[in-house]
Amino acid sequence: MDYQRKIPVADSEKAVDAAANVFIQHSFQIDQKSETALELTGPGMISSRQNPLVGISNIRISQSRGSLSVEAQFDSIRRLIKYLAVLIIVMGVFFVILFGILFTRQGQPVGTVVLISLAPLAPWPVLLPLIMAWLKCRTARALDVLLSNAAHLAGE
């Protein structure tokens, strides 16, 4: 699990309902619902501009006497980063082929052409892990706020 948290609440059933309503509004699908637990599957993240909660692929919200516990996986974020990595690799191959054809005809050495072609992609091996960490932090923070709000609503 990428995220686990347990918080005290006054009415755990009301808190689960409040959290479930938020997830349902963000196109989460209910996989299993019982008296003590709720499992949902997320719609998937296709952009970092979406609500951070869609970075959650699977979430389990369970209630017990006076507490609410949440376990979540952030597989949607990992999938988005994998798509970005594949896109960058494909762009690199495309640039090497394109510039290889253009510049080798002009007499440039092949090694120089490859380096020039891949230079624009050089920051991405550093940026991708940073983007992934930022998205995970953002999703965890959104879950913290959601749980806090659900606990406050359950106390009313």
pLDDT digits (tens, 9 = 90+) for 82-131: 999 999 999 999 999 998 888 887 888 888 889 989 999 999 999 999 99
Report the amino acid identity of residue 80.
L
CATH topology of domain 3-77+129-155: TATA-Binding Protein (3.30.310)
Locate the DSSP E strands across 10-124: 29-33, 37-41, 58-64, 67-73
Which is nearest to 120 in space by CA: 151, 98, 153, 147?
98
d(CA 151, CA 1): 22
pTM over the 0.75 mark = yes
The single-letter DSSP state of residue 119 is G
In the block, residue with structure tokens 């296709």: 46
* Count of all residues that appear for the chain in the document: 156
What is the structure's pLDDT at 155? 81
Structure tokens at 64: 């017990």
Domain ranges of the chain: 3-77+129-155, 78-123
